[in-house]
Structure 1
Amino acid sequence: MVTWISSSMNFPFAPKPTACPPVESLTTDAGEWLKIARQRLTGVEQPGLEAQLILGSVLQLNRAAVLAHPERILSPNQLAQLDLLIHRHLAGEPLPYLLGHWEFYGLDFMVNSAVLIPRPETELLVEEALVWLQQHPDRRRAADVGVGSGAISAALATHVPDLWVCATDRSRLALRVAQENMRRLGLTGRVELAEMDLLSACHGPFDLVVANLPYIPSKKLTDLQVTRYEPVEALDGGIDGLRLIERLLADASRWLAQGGLMLLEVEAGHGESAPALANRLLPSTAVDMLTDLAGLPRVLRIVK
């Protein structure tokens, strides 16, 4: 059963109002609130930046505007909203979910707990795909397997105006997020969204296949903080972390056009097992691994 996601389908996104706890801070202006917020957020990686982003989300201003007017008086309602967001963040809720959006490859994406938060490591896959597309101007049919928020599809389609993408996901909730992001970025119609298992009902072959499928081994999930808030089904890659990747590779010769490129993000621990799997299932292809800025194996590259 395949459900194609139409641009006319209407999905609710607004979260239900949440009761605010009592305001603990006595601060009345933005500058003083930022000082106190930085102190409260000392356990996070970038307390100053995150405090600015939280304040900007409540004031509906960008960081520059927030910093330009530290004398701005904050209303009791704004202080209550800010206090609630700080409480939630200190409890472990990721900042992108608190803000409701996050940047990836220079684009702003709506995110919620139905999708993984776009991460900078994935930009390696996007950059490699864009280089290949630039070198192959006659190759303009792409597939994005496990589209999630739509970050990869949108980044590719934005930078390659004549690219068409078939983007799939098993999660209808994730597809709703992707649909909204395509609408906001003006990509509706160029990125076709469909609810399906891998590429089971797409009309191939494709010149380019990209995927950021679940790749964390199941036994590792219990030790990861990320599973408290991000969707486990988008993280759990089975016993060895390659369950879905193996299924996609097993059928890749059917979906990938001759001379086409497949790029799959994998866990750093798959630096040897992922290429070995690809060589076994696709013996006539050229297989190699790309490393990220930290020097870790990150993207499996296959040329048919």
Structure 2
Amino acid sequence: MSIRPSNWRNWPSSNDMTLGEALAAARQRIDRLDARLLLQYATGCTHAELLARPETLLGTSARAQFENWVERRAGGEPLAYLVGEAEFRGRVFQVSPAVLIPRPDTEVLVEQAPLRLHGKESPAVLDLGTGSGIVAVSLALEYPSARVVAVDISAAALTVAASNAGRLGADVEFLAGDWYAPLAGRRFDLIVANPPYIAADDPHLAGDGLPFEPQGALTDGGDGLDCLRRIVAGAVAHLRPGGWLLLEHGHEQGAACRNLLSAAGFQAAFTHPDLAGSDRVSGAHL
């Protein structure tokens, strides 16, 4: 049963609410697109059906679900957590508050990875801090000859990632541990990582739905470079000769990442921008 706060006065009081009425009421509180998507998820209707038959009555359970979701979305909770899924590279991934919501910026990391595996047969690939598994699963599916291993310290995140791999048919080995801890003696042709890189004092952490996401996956609690430092420092012991390390990072951290890579003995350090032109992925090879 949904709990109706005092500000539900904009909703029709009749028990017989149509799809059109529900959508109109929701649009007074949340973004138009969010309202439509939530109504589609609550009812199972398509966009075309909502347009063609707005007079269709909203069922009792669907109405309760929709009202609950609208209230939570109005409070800032991300839409992806409400419906339990998000799209990444044309695939639908399950998400929960245990993992970050997939972002288009991370596609840069996935796109850059195969370029470093050209000509390698059955390359070994490691995804550190896999979260929902979007990088590991995408690489396993898009580069099927690769042997992909994914690590995360969060058992809850690994549960989500393993479920995504199973649903999408990706062959990924999942390991629990802090960065390289469960990988003693293992070496890879490519290591990729999208670690926490937001500084603890960054004001962006207070907005845009970020308070609802796992803080340990967003910030290292310091200057935003601590996890990047640890990954770079440990990579040398886990890369094969000529192996590559690719790191997603903040838009002002490209130079810092290149310096870390060069100082650790990596070669040909570079930074690649995202679609907005901001620094997003840096990498180098041994």
TM value normalised by structure 2: 0.90
Question: 2:183 matched to 1:199?
Answer: no
Q: What is the match of residue 105 of structure 1?
A: 89
Structure 2 gap ranges (5+): none
Aligned pairs for 1:215-254 within 5 A: 215-220=197-202, 223-225=205-207, 226-254=209-237
Aligned CA-pair RMSD = 2.0
Q: Is the 8 A contact 1:139 1:207 kept in 2?
A: no
Which has the higher mean CA deviation after the structures are superposed, 268-277 or 195-204?
Answer: 195-204
Matched residues in 2 for 1:223 and 1:113: separation? 15
Q: Which of the residues 58, 65, 69 maps onto 1:81?
A: 65
Any idea what the Cα deviations from partners look like across 1:92-115, whole Å, max 9, x if unmatched?
111111111100111111111100
Amino acid at match of 1:182: A
Distance 1:34 1:163, change over 3 A: same
Any idea what the Cα deviations from partners look like across 1:179-208, whole Å, max 9, x if unmatched?
111121122xx2111111112222521111
Distance 1:260 1:63, change over 3 A: farther
Matched residues in 2 for 1:64 and 1:178: separation? 32
Q: Which of the residues 126, 141, 149 maps onto 1:158?
A: 141
Q: Is the 8 A contact 1:21 1:80 kept in 2?
A: no
Q: What secondary structure does 2:213 align onto?
A: coil
Structure 1 gap ranges (5+): 1-17, 42-46
TM value normalised by structure 1: 0.85
Distance 1:159 1:64, change over 3 A: farther
Q: Is the 8 A contact 2:42 2:63 kept in 1?
A: no
Matched residues in 1 for 2:45 and 2:139: separation? 28
Distance 1:185 1:38, change over 3 A: same
Q: What secondary structure does 1:207 align onto?
A: strand
Q: What secondary structure does 2:269 align onto?
A: strand
Aligned pairs for 1:1-304 within 5 A: 19-21=2-4, 25-26=11-12, 28-41=17-30, 47-133=31-117, 135-187=118-170, 190-202=171-183, 204-220=186-202, 223-225=205-207, 226-282=209-265, 284-304=266-286
Q: What secondary structure does 1:240 align onto?
A: coil
Distance 1:110 1:295, change over 3 A: same
Report the Cα offset of residue 247 of structure 1.
1.0
Matched residues in 2 for 1:61 and 1:171: separation? 35
Matched residues in 2 for 1:235 and 1:172: separation? 17
Matched residues in 2 for 1:63 and 1:155: separation? 28
Report the Cα offset of residue 86 of structure 1.
0.6
How many residue pairs match? The answer is: 278
Matched residues in 2 for 1:294 and 1:260: separation? 28
Report the Cα offset of residue 299 of structure 1.
0.5
Q: What secondary structure does 1:216 align onto?
A: coil
Q: What secondary structure does 2:182 align onto?
A: coil
